[in-house]
């Protein structure tokens, strides 16, 4: 049996996010592009940014990392790569520019260095995550006049072309934090006060 399957690393990353960013909303398989074309293995949403961890467990491939680098960077301000020790050296050769790394050691999971610079987000991509009612709310928050009768892509386009990126990013994060994930999407999320799934004693030592 593999020592570090993706499921084990995913749970470790979830607990790492809780320790490092206790105020964040956490979830798995966070969709950051329409039609589920891009999903963060572990996602964290704060009032200011979206962050993610890409997990590569024993037996996984680094083949998609190049595409994941430019796609995820459109919406996530910070990304970490967590690879099983068995393939870490191979996977790191394909680590996208600007990504951080999560390492596994006898003392735990840690990030040896977190880049101060955020990834280059796209206002249009950030707005693409939202539903129409959320877009209307965001347009009001960033003071861009849009009509509810407009098509979703027209609302998103006007906001993306008018409002500053920083304002759009914060407004999108607020919309996601206020979303009723469980009712509207039947999706498991963990808010700061929620208990995370338990880890085994071995996983706790490594987290």
Output the pLDDT for position 188.
Answer: 95
Output the pLDDT for position 161.
Answer: 98
Output the pLDDT for position 198.
Answer: 87
Enclosing domain of residue 190: 6-119+182-206
Output the pLDDT for position 46.
Answer: 98
51 and 44 in contact (C-beta within 8 Å)?
yes
Q: Does the residue 1 lie in any domain?
A: no
**How would residue 200 be classed by pLDDT, with cut points 50, 70 and 90?**
low
Per-residue burial over 175-196, b = 16 or more CB atoms within 10 Å of its CB, e = otherwise: bbbebeeeeeeeeebbeeeeee
* 52 and 109 together in one domain: yes
130 and 172 in contact (C-beta within 8 Å)?
yes
- pTM, whole model, 2 decimals? 0.92
The domain total for the chain is 2
pLDDT of residue 207 exceeding 70: no
**How would residue 169 be classed by pLDDT, with cut points 50, 70 and 90?**
very high
* 165 and 109 together in one domain: no
* 175 and 186 together in one domain: no
Q: Does the residue 99 lie in any domain?
A: yes
Average pLDDT on 2-15 reads: 93
Look over the chain and give the mean of its residue pLDDT values, rounded to a whole number. 92
Residue whose entry in the numeric block shows the structure tokens 């593999």: 2
Output the pLDDT for position 106.
Answer: 76
Return the biggest CA–CA distance within the chain.
57
Q: Look at residue 149 and give its three-state secondary structure.
A: coil
Output the pLDDT for position 36.
Answer: 65
* 34 and 133 together in one domain: no
pLDDT of residue 39 exceeding 60: yes
Average pLDDT on 148-155 reads: 97
* 68 and 139 together in one domain: no
Output the pLDDT for position 38.
Answer: 84
């Amino acid at each position: 049996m593999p020592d570090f399957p993706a499921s084990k690393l995913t749970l470790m990353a979830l607990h790492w996010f809780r320790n490092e960013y206790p105020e964040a909303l956490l979830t798995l398989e966070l969709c950051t592009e329409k039609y589920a074309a891009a999903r963060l293995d572990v996602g964290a949403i704060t009032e200011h940014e979206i962050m993610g961890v890409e997990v590569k467990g024993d037996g996984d491939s680094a083949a998609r990392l190049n595409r994941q680098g430019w796609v995820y960077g459109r919406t996530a301000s910070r990304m970490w790569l967590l690879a099983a020790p068995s393939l870490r050296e191979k996977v790191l050769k394909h680590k996208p520019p600007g990504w951080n790394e999560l390492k596994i050691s006898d003392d735990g999971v840690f990030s040896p260095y977190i880049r101060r610079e955020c990834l280059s987000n796209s206002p249009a991509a950030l707005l693409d995550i939202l539903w129409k009612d959320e877009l209307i709310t965001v347009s009001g928050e960033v003071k861009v006049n849009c009509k509810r009768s407009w098509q979703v892509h027209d609302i998103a386009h006007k906001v993306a072309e008018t409002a500053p990126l920083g304002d759009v990013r914060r407004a999108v994060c607020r919309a996601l934090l206020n979303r009723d994930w469980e009712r509207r999407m039947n999706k498991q999320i963990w808010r700061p006060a929620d208990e995370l799934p338990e880890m085994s004693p071995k996983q706790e030592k490594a987290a």
